[in-house]
Amino acid sequence: VGNQGAVGNQGAVGDQGPVGNQGAVGDQGAQGAVGVQGAVGDQGAVGNQGLQGIAGVNGIDAVLDYDSLANIITADSSFTANVIGGMGGGCNPVFPDGFKNYEPVTIDLLLLGSYQVPDEKTLYITHALSKDATTFLTVDGAEVFAFNDDYIGGNAPPYLVKSNSIISSNHESSSNEVISGYLVDSKVEPITIDLSLGAYVVPEEKNFHINMAHTSTGFDYLIFDGKYVCRFEIGFISDGSAIPLPAKSETVISVYDGAGGAVVSGYLADENYFANCGGGGSSSTPVLNNETVILDLSNFAGLDCDSINNLNFGDIVINAQGQTSIVVPGESCGGVSQNSGFPPYVNPQSLFPVSSRNYYCFFTVNDTIVLTSTPQFYTSGVYTISSIVSYGEFTSDFDPNSTNATYYINNSGGFLLPGYIYSLQGGTADLPYQNTATNIYQTSTSSFNLNPEMFNELGIYNRYFGDPVIYPSNNFGLTNAGFTYSPFGKKLKNF
């Protein structure tokens, strides 16, 4: 074989062959660095306003003055409007309108001549007195009852007069013709029917509650659907009681004679007006009928404290004699009066009286209590009683020199509440003859010795005559005792 020849020149590149199949995906590489944040875009357009939300509940705008609450209950119509008046139509057939916007009235018919019942009100006549003569009362011209030197109609229930009616009399007395009672918002319909003109049919779906029947002469008989139900004389139903006589829907009411006039008065109410009032009461266990408790008792003494404490504030209690009381806040029925504590006592004769100054013991209470008395300061002259004053809501940085007193607590029934600051205070700095007449005995003490289970003492202070500043002190005016209080609860108050 001969030697291999030299390599020849490379030939031209041939045409590219067809693309082969794709290979498998390789492993993912590491994540790159985070890029720079782009610029903030323009704010979008304001959207349409949404629906208005539900209004929130109003907050309390002022601190309730509990010290005046008892008086509000019995003297202010705002209480009867908000508490008693909120009870609905009433569950007592004697007082069917309830007591909403209760307003006592006394009407002198000799002075006025006549009286018109205000619009949307019902007048309840509870008493009438005519001196020296028997007087006949008229309502819208109809003679409705007679009265003299006595309670109207013996044991009759109150007489109801409807809104806008005109009340007058025959003015037989020359000295006194006075009717008394109260006005309330109208709910039932008072009516007066003259049966001497013919029979009366009680309207459908109504009951007629008769609280007065009157004939000018002698006596007569009321007849329901042909049946004799009671006898009546001048001014009242003689065989009845203090509860109105009811006649149901569609009853035909008439009288036996009618020659002397026969006027019956009362009120119409829906058949179901008293439907949800529950059962009655007994002499030992009165039953609450919504807002009214009717007792089979001659007086309130038979109502024990357990029964009173089971009632609600504002409930009306009526006994068998028609006397009325209301359940009010106050000293708890059955509660025991207590002393706030006994401050250090020193015989005044061993002390030298000091010049005019006032003393303050600031404190809070741990529970609601009723103040019943405050102590006397021993002085060289005028008799000086201490008082308890409210300084508003408790704050941890309380300073008596930058906090104003808000009101005095009634020392015979005022309320002390947790969360408020009070001061037992008094002395001689504010007497009109401070510099010459009266000095006060003081004792060295850093505490008034209030019972720590009920009270939290905040400090003892003094103020001197002519100086408005109250200074911390270790001296306090000598007193005969602490103040007294009772547990807070429910009690009955006549009205």
Q: Per the structure, how many domains does the chain have? A: 2
Full-model pTM: 0.44
Mean pLDDT per 10-residue section of the chain, whose length is 495 residues: 63 60 54 52 53 34 37 38 40 82 87 92 88 84 78 66 92 80 91 91 94 79 88 60 82 83 89 67 36 59 78 75 76 89 78 85 94 88 81 90 87 88 88 62 88 94 90 89 91 76
CA dist 223 and 258 (Å) reads 12
Model confidence over 390-443: pLDDT tens digits? 998 998 899 999 988 888 888 888 889 999 999 999 888 776 654 445 788 888
Q: Are 360 and 347 in contact (CB under 8 A)?
A: no
CA dist 141 and 122 (Å) reads 18
Answer yes or no: is 392 within a domain.
yes
Q: Are 408 and 444 in contact (CB under 8 A)?
A: no
Phi, psi angles (nearest 5°) of residue 268: -95, 140
Is 271 found in the same domain as 135? yes
**Continuous segment of H or E residues that includes residue 254:** strand 252-255
Is 349 found in the same domain as 264? no
Q: Are 483 and 342 in contact (CB under 8 A)?
A: no
**Continuous segment of H or E residues that includes residue 169:** strand 166-169
**338 Ramachandran zone, left/alpha/beta (phi>0; psi -120 to 50):** beta
CA dist 21 and 361 (Å) reads 102
Is 245 found in the same domain as 374? no
Answer yes or no: is 84 within a domain.
no
Q: What angle do CA 129, 134, 139 make, to 5 degrees?
A: 75
Q: Are 142 and 264 in contact (CB under 8 A)?
A: no
CA dist 50 and 236 (Å) reads 68
Please state the length of the chain: 495
For residue 112, the enclosing domain spans: 92-275
Q: Which of 275, 309, 324 is the last residue of a domain?
A: 275
Per DSSP, the three-state class of 407 is strand
Phi, psi angles (nearest 5°) of residue 81: -70, -40
Is 244 found in the same domain as 116? yes
3-class DSSP string for 172-217: CCCCCEEEEEEEEECCCEEEEEEHHHCCEECCCCEEEEEEEEECCC
Is 360 found in the same domain as 271? no
Whole-number Cα distances in Å, 33 to 28, 37, 320: 15, 12, 97
Is 388 found in the same domain as 249? no
CA dist 374 and 406 (Å) reads 18
Is 244 found in the same domain as 105? yes
Q: Are 238 and 145 in contact (CB under 8 A)?
A: no
Is 375 found in the same domain as 239? no
Q: Are 179 and 109 in contact (CB under 8 A)?
A: yes
Whole-number Cα distances in Å, 435 to 327, 352, 465: 49, 16, 8
Answer yes or no: is 326 within a domain.
no
Q: Which of 220, 247, 275 is the last residue of a domain?
A: 275
- Amino acid (one-letter) located at 120: E
CATH of the domain at 372: 2.60.120
Answer yes or no: is 76 within a domain.
no
Answer yes or no: is 127 within a domain.
yes
Q: Are 155 and 241 in contact (CB under 8 A)?
A: yes
CA dist 488 and 371 (Å) reads 9
Token pair of 354 as six digits: 């000091």
Q: Which of 247, 275, 303 is the last residue of a domain?
A: 275
Answer yes or no: is 177 within a domain.
yes
Per DSSP, the three-state class of 294 is strand
Answer yes or no: is 299 within a domain.
no
Is 360 found in the same domain as 257? no
Is 414 found in the same domain as 271? no
Dihedral sign for Cα atoms in the order 404, 407, 410, 414: negative
- Amino acid (one-letter) located at 191: I
Is 212 found in the same domain as 100? yes
CA dist 151 and 263 (Å) reads 20
Answer yes or no: is 323 within a domain.
no
